Structure 1
């Protein structure tokens, strides 16, 4: 019998580098995840807590029987099992939608400073590389899957995150099979794994056997190429970080005018990094080409825009934005009942004298409401528009701009002015209402 030692060595390396005290296993019941679960149990240090998650996609007739199998295996190994039932959007690519639902389930259960391990191995890495290659991917795509990444898509990448780890990613599929044979493991088989109409299965069953005929150990060589691409991608990330340090930007916008001091290759690198780092979006080449032409070179007063997945790239003045549902505020109206309501709506009350709304208007006895600006509000629109422009507030943020209504009358447009009749006298106690965003 061939050795299962590569699996054992990979799990030993994983435990030596582990800093978390709890490890989750993504357990489908199939060969790869069963080998992962068994090896993690066999080599587990005493201080580590193990648990498993099985995601029930409901896509196969056998799905319920797989749950029974997973319960049986986990009970025998004394590993608690969490079964998560998900709905897969069948109007999308089934593989992609199932993967998305699976990772959402992981994010639900795996907490900060915990890790979840998946059974991906070297063959999976090679398949991902070839899939991405045929999509015309760049360096990051040709790096295929990382051994370790933050589980949730969060911009604040600190050490206090949930992590996804692939301990067997450098381990050959043959070694995984050998381990299963050595431990006499029983696993379930997903019948769709044989369907070559799925591109990953086509690569696995049609393309890889041909490569095996022409080259010695081609999967190891392709996996090594992934590692080289990952190193190069890391260097480009560092270059992007250095370039962005010289360019005004935050999580919502990027100064495209300052970006022009870089050559186009470095502009693209910085843009890719910014979109991925702050918005978890991989910007495509067509959108980059649009930015170079329409986005950067149209009339300075123009406001070009382009759809990117479920969001929209916008340019306003010197800034590039990416807008989605979370960045465009919907119409709102909130009755102020306690002081905390102001902060919840992003407004701070600053005591002053004669420079704001008279304090008595905000005292009990008056109905105070924070709401969005409406088209029928009686305010000098030309003056307000000039103020918005001077403050560099883009048009989509002007819609639903916060205002204060007192006793059904418009009293304050936040940041702009307090309307006549509500202004404090020069020696009267007042409150200045300041927007925090």
Structure 2
């Protein structure tokens, strides 16, 4: 029966040439690995499926080394290459369960890259996931539980057993006399999922015998509704975001609920972390009437400036500050700058002259085709957000500012078909600006 689930799954979804089995050594993952090796054997004539396995060694159980050895022996028996990845669990913020899960997926991403990871989650896991989401106050995405396929970071995650029950897997284990690991921590109801599995769900089932079928039916409905929501969000995102910058006027044309969805997607894509509900609502309150506002997020910030929303990750900010150190020497050796051919720019010989690269000063000016302008005004004209332009780099020669990174070269030294200094970290704030 499990083989049928795999066959049906790969008929409905594109089969990758190689799949990595997430192998814990427990009954579910052992059954998955065994079923996949049988499926591979039946497909050998076309050579259409390569198998590999990965075991994450959490080090949380005194038997962890034994489990790794078990997985190694099992994979040797099945002629499946195995990677064992040891991880360190820091449960100080997330708790043991969440921290272990996060470490697992980091290990998967590290070793598999952009490959396909296949996991043994089944229908009973789906039911437990929904109940956990309800207990934690989850929204539509959480209540829709796990999809059969999902892109998680760089990974393509596959779950062919979501229509199989735990009972089917246990029957398969017995039928093929498969040995597996029993993790005693799965019996401990101090963990919320285990309490749901062993206490809450059986209690509900005594009153509502068909509760599992009801929940699975609800998941199917919710996943359809989530699909519609995702289609609407994709269109809203296309309308609001161009080249990584969100248009405030386009955002304000949406309902409040759709504004929230776009902002959360912006945070997700830019990897800024999940905001608190109160923080999100506070930022939305500034959208209609604030000319400038900074939304602080766990991993960075979003700036509302004029008619645009700009995102800057904390690491980008740190790199930016690190590169605002003064440089003195041959200009072409300045580590912060690269050089782009431009209609008007510095002569090639100038790049070999001694110069200073430094953050601009309020007294700095530049001669443009339209007359002399302060560097401050040039940056304002380009609509550079204030937190970014605060330390914008310029080139100084013989005591005078002769170029502003990514913007212009002073007409007093510029030549036709010259070179414009580029500061890669700030290019998105110039070349991708919305007009």
Q: What is the TM-score with the length of structure 1 in the denominator? A: 0.83
Instruction: Decide whether aligned partners of structure 1 residues 356 and 21 sit closer, same or farther in structure 2, where only a CA change above 3 A counts.
Output: closer
- 1:372 Cα deviation after fit: 5.2
Is contact 1:87-1:101 (8 Å) kept?
A: yes
SS of 1:28 mapped into structure 2: coil
Gaps of 5+ in 1: 154-161
Is contact 1:312-1:322 (8 Å) kept?
A: yes
Match of residue 260 from structure 2? 268
Instruction: Decide whether aligned partners of structure 1 residues 214 and 385 sit closer, same or farther in structure 2, where only a CA change above 3 A counts.
Output: same
- 1:311 Cα deviation after fit: 2.9
Is contact 2:405-2:420 (8 Å) kept?
A: no
Is contact 1:57-1:87 (8 Å) kept?
A: yes
Q: What is the root-mean-square deviation in Å for CA atoms of aligned residues?
A: 3.1
CA distance in 2, matches of 1:314, 1:115: 36
SS of 2:19 mapped into structure 1: strand
SS of 2:287 mapped into structure 1: helix
Q: What is the TM-score with the length of structure 2 in the denominator? A: 0.83
Q: Deviations over 1:229-283 (max 9, x none)?
A: 11111111111222333334343x3122321122222322333344334548555
CA distance in 1, matches of 2:189, 2:281: 35
Is contact 1:348-1:434 (8 Å) kept?
A: yes
Bigger CA drift: 116-125 or 281-290? Answer: 281-290
Is contact 1:331-1:372 (8 Å) kept?
A: no
- 1:390 Cα deviation after fit: 1.8
Instruction: Decide whether aligned partners of structure 1 residues 416 and 266 sit closer, same or farther in structure 2, where only a CA change above 3 A counts.
Output: closer
CA distance in 2, matches of 1:49, 1:407: 64
Match of residue 144 from structure 1? 145
Aligned mate of 1:362, from 336, 344, 351: 351
Query: Where in structure 2 are the equivalents of 1:150-165 lying within 5 Å?
Result: 150-153=151-154, 162-165=155-158
- 1:409 Cα deviation after fit: 7.6
- 1:416 Cα deviation after fit: 4.4
Gaps of 5+ in 2: 367-372, 429-435
Instruction: Decide whether aligned partners of structure 1 residues 79 and 286 sit closer, same or farther in structure 2, where only a CA change above 3 A counts.
Output: same
- 1:73 Cα deviation after fit: 1.1
Q: Deviations over 1:182-235 (max 9, x none)?
A: 111111122221221211111111111012212233223212212211111111
Query: Where in structure 2 are the equivalents of 1:211-290 lying within 5 Å?
Result: 211-251=204-244, 253-279=245-271, 281-290=273-282
CA distance in 2, matches of 1:172, 1:24: 22
SS of 1:43 mapped into structure 2: helix
Which structure shows the higher strand fraction? 2
Is contact 2:345-2:419 (8 Å) kept?
A: yes
CA distance in 1, matches of 2:329, 2:164: 60
Bigger CA drift: 262-271 or 24-33? Answer: 262-271
Higher RCO (CA-CA < 8 Å; seq separation 6+): 1
Is contact 1:384-1:416 (8 Å) kept?
A: no
Instruction: Decide whether aligned partners of structure 1 residues 368 and 179 sit closer, same or farther in structure 2, where only a CA change above 3 A counts.
Output: farther
Query: Where in structure 2 are the equivalents of 1:112-151 lying within 5 Å?
Result: 112=114, 114-151=115-152
> Do residues 373 (structure 1) and 341 (structure 2) align?
no
- 1:384 Cα deviation after fit: 2.5
